Amino acid sequence: MEKMIKKRIDQVKEKGHQRLTVLLIPHGFDKSFHFQISIFTIFFLVGLLFAIVGIAVLGIVRYNNTRIQINALASVYGKYFDEYIEYSEKLGDIRDDFASLNENLQEVHSLIDGESDELLKLPDESDSEDLAATELKVEEAVDKDLMLGRSYLSEIYGYRSVRVSMEKNKALVDSVFNFLDSRYGIMNSLPFGEPLLSYNLTSYYGMRRSPTFGYMEFHDGVDLANVPGTDITATGDGRVYRAIYSNRGYGNHIVIAHANGYYSLYGHCTSLKVREGEYVHKGQRIATVGATGNVTGPHLHYEVWIGESNRTDPMDYMKVGFGQY
Protein backbone atom coordinates (compact mmCIF):
# COMPACT_ATOMS: atom_id res chain seq x y z
CA MET A 1 0.00 0.00 0.00
CA GLU A 2 2.82 2.39 0.90
CA LYS A 3 4.61 1.61 -2.36
CA MET A 4 1.44 2.38 -4.28
CA ILE A 5 0.98 5.74 -2.55
CA LYS A 6 4.61 6.64 -3.10
CA LYS A 7 4.29 5.69 -6.75
CA ARG A 8 1.25 7.97 -7.15
CA ILE A 9 3.11 10.87 -5.51
CA ASP A 10 6.08 10.37 -7.80
CA GLN A 11 3.77 10.40 -10.81
CA VAL A 12 2.18 13.68 -9.67
CA LYS A 13 5.62 15.26 -9.11
CA GLU A 14 6.75 14.09 -12.51
CA LYS A 15 3.69 15.60 -14.16
CA GLY A 16 4.03 18.79 -12.16
CA HIS A 17 7.65 19.27 -13.12
CA GLN A 18 6.90 18.93 -16.77
CA ARG A 19 7.67 22.20 -18.49
CA LEU A 20 5.57 23.94 -21.10
CA THR A 21 6.96 26.34 -23.65
CA VAL A 22 5.05 29.58 -24.14
CA LEU A 23 5.70 31.32 -27.47
CA LEU A 24 4.99 35.04 -27.84
CA ILE A 25 4.82 36.44 -31.40
CA PRO A 26 4.46 40.25 -31.56
CA HIS A 27 3.00 42.08 -34.59
CA GLY A 28 5.35 43.55 -37.07
CA PHE A 29 8.88 42.46 -37.80
CA ASP A 30 10.05 42.12 -34.20
CA LYS A 31 11.56 38.92 -33.12
CA SER A 32 9.37 36.41 -31.30
CA PHE A 33 10.43 35.09 -27.92
CA HIS A 34 9.43 32.21 -25.72
CA PHE A 35 9.84 30.96 -22.17
CA GLN A 36 9.23 27.74 -20.29
CA ILE A 37 7.05 27.28 -17.21
CA SER A 38 6.20 24.25 -15.14
CA ILE A 39 2.65 23.02 -14.49
CA PHE A 40 3.19 23.57 -10.75
CA THR A 41 4.04 27.19 -11.40
CA ILE A 42 0.95 27.65 -13.57
CA PHE A 43 -1.29 26.23 -10.82
CA PHE A 44 0.44 28.44 -8.26
CA LEU A 45 -0.07 31.59 -10.35
CA VAL A 46 -3.73 30.76 -11.05
CA GLY A 47 -4.32 30.08 -7.36
CA LEU A 48 -2.59 33.33 -6.44
CA LEU A 49 -4.79 35.21 -8.91
CA PHE A 50 -7.97 33.69 -7.46
CA ALA A 51 -6.77 34.47 -3.94
CA ILE A 52 -6.09 38.11 -4.85
CA VAL A 53 -9.50 38.46 -6.53
CA GLY A 54 -11.21 36.78 -3.55
CA ILE A 55 -9.45 39.03 -1.05
CA ALA A 56 -10.41 42.08 -3.10
CA VAL A 57 -14.08 41.05 -3.26
CA LEU A 58 -14.10 40.29 0.48
CA GLY A 59 -12.51 43.68 1.17
CA ILE A 60 -15.12 45.50 -0.91
CA VAL A 61 -17.97 43.67 0.88
CA ARG A 62 -16.48 44.37 4.30
CA TYR A 63 -15.87 48.00 3.39
CA ASN A 64 -19.52 48.44 2.40
CA ASN A 65 -20.72 46.77 5.62
CA THR A 66 -18.34 48.93 7.65
CA ARG A 67 -19.63 52.07 5.94
CA ILE A 68 -23.22 51.06 6.74
CA GLN A 69 -22.32 50.46 10.41
CA ILE A 70 -20.41 53.74 10.60
CA ASN A 71 -23.39 55.65 9.19
CA ALA A 72 -25.73 53.92 11.66
CA LEU A 73 -23.40 54.66 14.58
CA ALA A 74 -23.05 58.26 13.42
CA SER A 75 -26.83 58.61 13.42
CA VAL A 76 -27.12 57.09 16.91
CA TYR A 77 -24.21 59.18 18.19
CA GLY A 78 -25.81 62.33 16.81
CA LYS A 79 -29.08 61.48 18.55
CA TYR A 80 -27.41 60.76 21.89
CA PHE A 81 -25.16 63.78 21.58
CA ASP A 82 -28.22 66.00 21.09
CA GLU A 83 -29.84 64.40 24.14
CA TYR A 84 -26.60 64.87 26.09
CA ILE A 85 -26.60 68.60 25.29
CA GLU A 86 -30.29 68.84 26.23
CA TYR A 87 -29.83 67.10 29.59
CA SER A 88 -26.71 69.13 30.30
CA GLU A 89 -28.77 72.30 29.90
CA LYS A 90 -31.57 70.87 32.05
CA LEU A 91 -29.15 70.03 34.87
CA GLY A 92 -28.68 73.71 35.64
CA ASP A 93 -32.44 74.27 35.70
CA ILE A 94 -32.92 71.29 38.02
CA ARG A 95 -30.30 72.63 40.42
CA ASP A 96 -31.96 76.05 40.46
CA ASP A 97 -35.42 74.53 41.01
CA PHE A 98 -34.15 72.31 43.80
CA ALA A 99 -32.40 75.23 45.52
CA SER A 100 -35.59 77.29 45.31
CA LEU A 101 -37.70 74.38 46.60
CA ASN A 102 -35.30 73.82 49.47
CA GLU A 103 -35.46 77.48 50.45
CA ASN A 104 -39.27 77.41 50.35
CA LEU A 105 -39.36 74.26 52.48
CA GLN A 106 -37.08 75.80 55.08
CA GLU A 107 -39.22 78.93 55.15
CA VAL A 108 -42.41 76.87 55.59
CA HIS A 109 -40.63 74.82 58.26
CA SER A 110 -39.74 77.97 60.19
CA LEU A 111 -43.24 79.44 59.82
CA ILE A 112 -44.88 76.32 61.28
CA ASP A 113 -42.48 76.26 64.24
CA GLY A 114 -40.90 73.04 63.03
CA GLU A 115 -38.18 71.28 64.96
CA SER A 116 -34.81 72.95 64.31
CA ASP A 117 -33.17 69.50 64.53
CA GLU A 118 -34.47 68.76 61.05
CA LEU A 119 -32.61 71.78 59.65
CA LEU A 120 -29.41 70.71 61.40
CA LYS A 121 -29.57 67.37 59.55
CA LEU A 122 -29.40 69.04 56.13
CA PRO A 123 -26.01 68.51 54.45
CA ASP A 124 -23.94 71.24 52.83
CA GLU A 125 -23.73 71.23 49.03
CA SER A 126 -20.07 70.18 49.21
CA ASP A 127 -20.98 67.21 51.44
CA SER A 128 -23.59 66.05 48.90
CA GLU A 129 -21.06 66.35 46.07
CA ASP A 130 -18.44 64.36 48.01
CA LEU A 131 -20.94 61.62 48.85
CA ALA A 132 -22.15 61.44 45.24
CA ALA A 133 -18.57 61.25 43.95
CA THR A 134 -17.79 58.41 46.38
CA GLU A 135 -20.87 56.45 45.24
CA LEU A 136 -20.04 56.90 41.56
CA LYS A 137 -16.39 55.93 42.00
CA VAL A 138 -17.51 52.64 43.55
CA GLU A 139 -19.91 52.05 40.64
CA GLU A 140 -17.21 52.92 38.08
CA ALA A 141 -14.89 50.34 39.61
CA VAL A 142 -17.37 47.53 38.88
CA ASP A 143 -18.80 48.88 35.61
CA LYS A 144 -17.63 46.47 32.89
CA ASP A 145 -18.62 48.87 30.12
CA LEU A 146 -15.98 51.40 31.20
CA MET A 147 -12.37 51.05 30.09
CA LEU A 148 -9.69 50.97 32.78
CA GLY A 149 -9.09 54.47 34.11
CA ARG A 150 -12.23 55.94 32.51
CA SER A 151 -15.01 57.71 34.47
CA TYR A 152 -18.59 58.85 33.94
CA LEU A 153 -19.51 62.17 32.36
CA SER A 154 -19.45 65.19 34.66
CA GLU A 155 -23.22 65.64 34.20
CA ILE A 156 -23.79 62.23 35.80
CA TYR A 157 -21.94 63.48 38.85
CA GLY A 158 -24.13 66.59 38.82
CA TYR A 159 -27.36 64.60 38.67
CA ARG A 160 -26.17 62.27 41.41
CA SER A 161 -25.30 65.24 43.65
CA VAL A 162 -28.83 66.61 43.24
CA ARG A 163 -30.31 63.18 43.97
CA VAL A 164 -28.19 62.80 47.12
CA SER A 165 -29.28 66.26 48.29
CA MET A 166 -32.93 65.35 47.70
CA GLU A 167 -32.53 62.15 49.71
CA LYS A 168 -30.85 64.01 52.55
CA ASN A 169 -33.61 66.65 52.53
CA LYS A 170 -36.30 64.00 52.91
CA ALA A 171 -36.30 64.55 56.69
CA LEU A 172 -37.26 68.20 56.13
CA VAL A 173 -40.00 67.23 53.66
CA ASP A 174 -41.35 64.60 56.06
CA SER A 175 -41.35 67.09 58.93
CA VAL A 176 -43.32 69.66 56.92
CA PHE A 177 -45.68 66.98 55.59
CA ASN A 178 -46.38 65.52 59.04
CA PHE A 179 -47.14 68.96 60.43
CA LEU A 180 -49.48 69.90 57.58
CA ASP A 181 -51.10 66.46 57.59
CA SER A 182 -51.86 66.69 61.31
CA ARG A 183 -53.25 70.21 60.85
CA TYR A 184 -55.30 69.03 57.88
CA GLY A 185 -56.73 66.27 60.07
CA ILE A 186 -57.63 68.84 62.74
CA MET A 187 -59.31 71.10 60.18
CA ASN A 188 -61.26 68.16 58.78
CA SER A 189 -62.51 67.27 62.24
CA LEU A 190 -64.04 70.72 62.76
CA PRO A 191 -67.38 71.77 61.19
CA PHE A 192 -65.87 74.05 58.54
CA GLY A 193 -67.60 74.36 55.18
CA GLU A 194 -71.11 74.21 53.80
CA PRO A 195 -73.53 71.29 54.22
CA LEU A 196 -75.20 71.92 50.84
CA LEU A 197 -73.53 72.29 47.48
CA SER A 198 -76.00 75.07 46.59
CA TYR A 199 -78.79 76.76 48.50
CA ASN A 200 -80.86 79.89 49.05
CA LEU A 201 -80.21 81.46 52.47
CA THR A 202 -83.72 82.23 53.79
CA SER A 203 -83.04 82.94 57.47
CA TYR A 204 -79.97 84.12 59.37
CA TYR A 205 -78.73 83.37 62.88
CA GLY A 206 -80.14 85.73 65.54
CA MET A 207 -83.43 87.45 66.39
CA ARG A 208 -86.24 87.13 63.85
CA ARG A 209 -90.02 86.89 63.56
CA SER A 210 -91.16 83.26 63.73
CA PRO A 211 -92.46 82.17 60.29
CA THR A 212 -94.90 79.71 61.90
CA PHE A 213 -96.16 81.60 65.00
CA GLY A 214 -95.45 85.25 64.13
CA TYR A 215 -93.74 86.32 67.39
CA MET A 216 -90.14 87.40 67.85
CA GLU A 217 -87.69 84.58 68.62
CA PHE A 218 -84.02 83.83 68.62
CA HIS A 219 -83.03 81.68 65.65
CA ASP A 220 -80.24 79.31 66.68
CA GLY A 221 -78.98 78.54 63.18
CA VAL A 222 -79.39 79.33 59.49
CA ASP A 223 -82.01 78.08 57.03
CA LEU A 224 -80.70 76.87 53.67
CA ALA A 225 -83.50 76.27 51.17
CA ASN A 226 -83.31 73.74 48.35
CA VAL A 227 -85.57 71.17 46.70
CA PRO A 228 -86.57 68.08 48.73
CA GLY A 229 -84.14 65.19 48.29
CA THR A 230 -81.04 67.38 47.87
CA ASP A 231 -78.00 65.73 49.46
CA ILE A 232 -76.81 67.02 52.83
CA THR A 233 -73.13 66.36 53.64
CA ALA A 234 -71.24 66.40 56.93
CA THR A 235 -69.17 69.56 57.39
CA GLY A 236 -66.48 67.73 59.37
CA ASP A 237 -65.31 64.34 60.59
CA GLY A 238 -67.08 63.10 63.70
CA ARG A 239 -69.43 60.62 65.31
CA VAL A 240 -73.22 60.75 64.95
CA TYR A 241 -74.39 61.93 68.37
CA ARG A 242 -78.09 61.85 67.54
CA ALA A 243 -80.14 60.55 64.61
CA ILE A 244 -83.78 61.27 65.45
CA TYR A 245 -87.02 60.90 63.48
CA SER A 246 -89.64 63.40 64.66
CA ASN A 247 -92.58 65.44 63.33
CA ARG A 248 -91.99 68.29 65.81
CA GLY A 249 -89.28 70.91 66.32
CA TYR A 250 -86.26 70.01 64.21
CA GLY A 251 -88.17 67.14 62.63
CA ASN A 252 -85.91 64.37 61.33
CA HIS A 253 -82.47 65.59 62.35
CA ILE A 254 -78.86 64.60 62.97
CA VAL A 255 -76.31 65.91 65.45
CA ILE A 256 -72.62 65.14 64.85
CA ALA A 257 -70.03 65.41 67.64
CA HIS A 258 -66.71 66.74 66.31
CA ALA A 259 -63.30 67.17 67.94
CA ASN A 260 -62.62 69.80 70.61
CA GLY A 261 -66.23 69.94 71.81
CA TYR A 262 -67.84 71.09 68.53
CA TYR A 263 -71.24 69.85 67.34
CA SER A 264 -73.19 70.38 64.12
CA LEU A 265 -76.96 69.92 63.71
CA TYR A 266 -78.86 69.17 60.47
CA GLY A 267 -82.65 69.60 60.83
CA HIS A 268 -85.92 69.09 58.90
CA CYS A 269 -84.46 66.24 56.79
CA THR A 270 -86.57 63.96 54.60
CA SER A 271 -84.45 60.88 55.28
CA LEU A 272 -81.39 60.10 57.38
CA LYS A 273 -78.55 58.13 55.77
CA VAL A 274 -76.51 57.42 58.93
CA ARG A 275 -77.22 55.91 62.33
CA GLU A 276 -76.45 57.02 65.85
CA GLY A 277 -72.90 56.07 66.88
CA GLU A 278 -71.64 55.86 63.28
CA TYR A 279 -68.40 57.67 62.40
CA VAL A 280 -68.73 59.98 59.39
CA HIS A 281 -66.21 61.90 57.30
CA LYS A 282 -66.20 65.44 55.98
CA GLY A 283 -68.19 65.60 52.73
CA GLN A 284 -70.04 62.31 53.40
CA ARG A 285 -73.75 62.20 52.47
CA ILE A 286 -75.68 61.95 55.73
CA ALA A 287 -79.27 63.03 54.89
CA THR A 288 -81.52 64.76 52.34
CA VAL A 289 -83.33 68.09 52.46
CA GLY A 290 -86.94 67.91 53.59
CA ALA A 291 -89.79 69.69 55.39
CA THR A 292 -90.29 67.66 58.59
CA GLY A 293 -91.00 69.33 61.96
CA ASN A 294 -92.06 72.97 62.37
CA VAL A 295 -91.43 74.41 58.89
CA THR A 296 -93.19 76.41 56.19
CA GLY A 297 -91.23 74.89 53.30
CA PRO A 298 -88.39 72.49 52.44
CA HIS A 299 -85.01 73.60 53.75
CA LEU A 300 -82.07 72.55 55.92
CA HIS A 301 -81.83 74.10 59.38
CA TYR A 302 -78.10 74.07 60.21
CA GLU A 303 -76.48 74.84 63.57
CA VAL A 304 -72.95 74.80 65.04
CA TRP A 305 -72.45 74.40 68.79
CA ILE A 306 -69.47 74.73 71.09
CA GLY A 307 -70.46 72.24 73.74
CA GLU A 308 -74.08 71.08 73.92
CA SER A 309 -75.53 74.44 74.94
CA ASN A 310 -73.51 77.25 73.35
CA ARG A 311 -74.99 77.99 69.91
CA THR A 312 -72.85 80.04 67.52
CA ASP A 313 -73.41 81.68 64.15
CA PRO A 314 -72.92 78.90 61.54
CA MET A 315 -71.97 81.44 58.88
CA ASP A 316 -68.66 82.04 60.71
CA TYR A 317 -67.79 78.39 60.06
CA MET A 318 -69.39 77.99 56.64
CA LYS A 319 -67.28 80.79 55.13
CA VAL A 320 -63.93 79.78 56.62
CA GLY A 321 -62.73 78.76 53.16
CA PHE A 322 -62.39 75.00 53.52
CA GLY A 323 -64.51 73.10 51.01
CA GLN A 324 -66.59 70.12 51.90
CA TYR A 325 -64.70 67.74 49.58
Question: Does residue 81 fall inside a structural domain?
Answer: no
Q: Give me the pLDDT at residue 223, please.
A: 95
Note the pTM of the prediction, 2 decimals: 0.52
pLDDT per residue as tens, the chain (325 positions): 666 776 666 666 666 566 667 666 776 656 766 667 777 777 777 888 888 888 888 888 888 888 887 777 667 666 666 666 666 777 777 777 777 777 777 777 776 665 666 555 566 666 777 777 777 777 777 776 666 656 666 677 777 777 777 777 777 777 777 777 777 778 888 999 999 999 999 999 988 786 666 677 888 899 999 999 999 999 999 999 999 999 989 999 999 999 989 999 999 999 999 999 999 999 999 999 999 998 889 999 999 999 988 999 999 999 875 544 4
In the three-class reduction of DSSP (H, G, I as helix; E, B as strand; rest coil), residue 288 is classed as strand
Question: Does residue 12 fall inside a structural domain?
Answer: no
Q: Give me the pLDDT at residue 284, please.
A: 96
Question: Does residue 130 fall inside a structural domain?
Answer: no
Q: Give me the pLDDT at residue 276, please.
A: 96
Question: Does residue 274 fall inside a structural domain?
Answer: yes
The DSSP annotation for 255-277 comes to EEE-GGGEEEEEEEEEEE-S-TT
- The domain spanning residue 232 has which CATH number? 2.70.70.10
Q: Any idea what DSSP says for residue 85?
A: H
Q: Under a CB-based contact definition with an 8 Å cutoff, are residues 202 and 226 in contact?
A: no
Q: Give me the pLDDT at residue 194, please.
A: 94
Q: Give me the pLDDT at residue 94, please.
A: 75
Question: Does residue 186 fall inside a structural domain?
Answer: no
Q: Give me the pLDDT at residue 114, please.
A: 58
Number of domains observed in the structure of the chain: 1
H helix runs in the chain, sequence order = 2-16, 39-111, 116-120, 125-142, 154-168, 170-188, 315-318
Q: Give me the pLDDT at residue 305, please.
A: 95
Question: Does residue 268 fall inside a structural domain?
Answer: yes
Range of the domain at 243: 200-319
Question: Does residue 269 fall inside a structural domain?
Answer: yes
Question: Does residue 121 fall inside a structural domain?
Answer: no
Q: What is the amino acid identity at position 80?
A: Y
Q: Any idea what DSSP says for residue 113?
A: T
